[in-house]
Amino acid sequence: MFVSAAWGSAFPLMKSLIDEPLSMSVTDLLAERYTIAAVVLFLIRPRSLRGLARGTWSRGIVLGVMFGVGQTMQAFALDDLSSAVSGFAVGCNVVMTPVLALILFRVRVPKRIWFGVALALCGVAIFALMKGDGVRFAPVALGLTLCAAALYACHTLVLGNLSRANYNAYAITVIQLLTIGLLTGVMAVPDGLEAPPGPYGWLKLAHLAIVSCALGFLARSFGQRHLQAVPSAVLLASQPLWVALIALLCDEPVAASVLVGGPFMAAAMLLAVPSKGAAVVVGDPPARVHQAPEADEGLRRAAKRAAEVLASLRAPEPAPVRPPVPFDLAQVRECWIRAAERDPDVEPWCSLASKGGGEPGIDRLIEHATEIVKARQEPASQDGCLTFPLSGRCLCALRPEPVRESEPQEAPDIGVMR
């Protein structure tokens, strides 16, 4: 809406600069206007054109060429067209935008937006045809103006399509203005550039360059990252309404076109405001149309169920490490001393125990289990022990009582060996 108001304020100022006795040509005014706007934005941020993403320059130049060619065609057609016909032909881009969006990008526009487009076109027609300055046109000039309107519609669509690429809005704006200034400058340089007439003329040119061009294009580059192309075209079509409101601030009488066409424009602007319902993303195929709130609720339930399934598939937490079995250090020391007295080469099991486990290794367990089986064939020694404590007690306790001579000796128990 700010862009529409800024561009709408440019019409009476341009008309005054062109119609004054020391008037400027249209090409000179356009060249100076866009060049000054580009220079001002560049001086504010001199490093804005450094380190840009790939494709930023080419996209900015394409946008500038489309808008600059449209401005030039519209300016040349003004000689053979009345302002009413020219304004209505340019306003037809509000209809061309959704049609081209459907043809070029396969974007389906909701019925509510189509209704807003129709109201905006009616408002443009009322503002253009009720001016009372007559209807004067030539077929060639009208065709050029309609081509300019189509270029404006393509400019809106391409700029809206860039919203998916996360582009640098400031750099895109500077590149566009530089391109438009060069295009219009090529048309103006052969006849020589004319300066604005007097200090008041420079103030008008400053408003056209800084407010209408620099701030207007910058606001549009930022705004179309959050608003689709067709609704933005409807809002931009409200320029005649802003022109009428500015005229009222200048104590001009209220025209009949404001009373008749104003409600149409206001209704179209309200319909173009985004809602929470279905919305279309510019440049995406129809399959990516945003769903209604009911579909969003279904997606939320499916996402919740998917989260539960993924949580059930997680790897189980590792089992807690079993703390080492406590044992009596005094008993270990006593067994070690008794074993050392009998066989100095015997090593205590604790020297081969696993780290932090407090238990002997598997090899030593097998070796000493074999010693226990062999001890069944020999009388037990009361002062010697070949085993060491496991799980808090000495393995000597597992050895059976000494076998009496009168009793037959039993074979080694395989279970004990195991």
Q: What is the pLDDT of residues 45-65, one digit of tens each?
A: 999 998 888 888 999 999 999
Q: Which residues contact 361 (CB under 8 A, 6 or more apart)?
A: 349, 352, 353, 354
| DSSP-H helix ranges across 47-197 | 56-77, 83-91, 93-104, 111-129, 139-161, 169-188
Could you give the C-alpha distances from 406 to 372, 402, 403, in angstroms and in order? 22, 12, 9
Residue type, 234: V
Report phi then psi at 358, rounded to 5: 75, 10
State yes or no: pLDDT of 215 exceeds 90.
yes
pLDDT tens for each residue of 321-353: 655 555 556 666 666 666 666 655 555 544 444
pLDDT per residue as tens digits for the range 139-184: 888 888 889 989 999 999 988 887 666 678 899 999 999 999 999 8
The predicted pLDDT at position 328 comes to 58
Q: In the structure encoding, which two tokens stand for residue 387, read together? A: 């085993």
Q: What residue spans define the domains of the chain?
A: 2-295, 329-417
> What's the confidence (pLDDT) of residue 240?
80
- Contact status, residue 77 vs residue 141, Cβ threshold 8 Å: yes
> CB–CB of 282/161 below 8 Å?
yes
Indicate left, alpha or beta for 362 from its phi (over 0: left) and psi (-120 to 50: alpha).
Answer: alpha
Residue 52: half-sphere exposure toward Cβ, Cα within 13 Å: 21
pLDDT given at position 291: 44
pLDDT computed for residue 274 by the predictor: 67
Read off the pLDDT of each residue in 30-36 and give the average, rounded to a whole number. Answer: 92
Give φ, ψ of 393 to 5 degrees.
-145, 155
Q: Are 57 and 220 in contact (CB under 8 A)?
A: no
Considering only CA atoms, which of 414, 404, 412, 367 is closest in space to residue 386? 367
The per-residue pLDDT for range 365-401, each reduced to its tens digit, is: 677 677 776 665 555 444 445 444 444 445 555 545 5
The Cα–Cα gap between 338 and 384 comes to 5
Q: How many CA atoms lie within 13 A of 244 on its CB side?
A: 24
pLDDT digits (tens, 9 = 90+) for 303-312: 888 888 887 7
Is 261:127 a contact under the CB 8 Å cutoff? yes
d(CA 369, CA 314): 43
What is the reported pLDDT for 281?
42
**CB-CB contact of 107 with 259 (8 Å):** no
Residue 206 banded pLDDT, cuts 50, 70, 90:
very high
DSSP 251-304: TPPPPHHHHHHHHHHHHHHHHHS--SS----TTS-GGGPPPPHHHHHHHHHHHH
Query: Using an 8 Å Cβ cutoff, are 395 and 380 in contact?
Result: no
Provide the whole-model pTM: 0.61
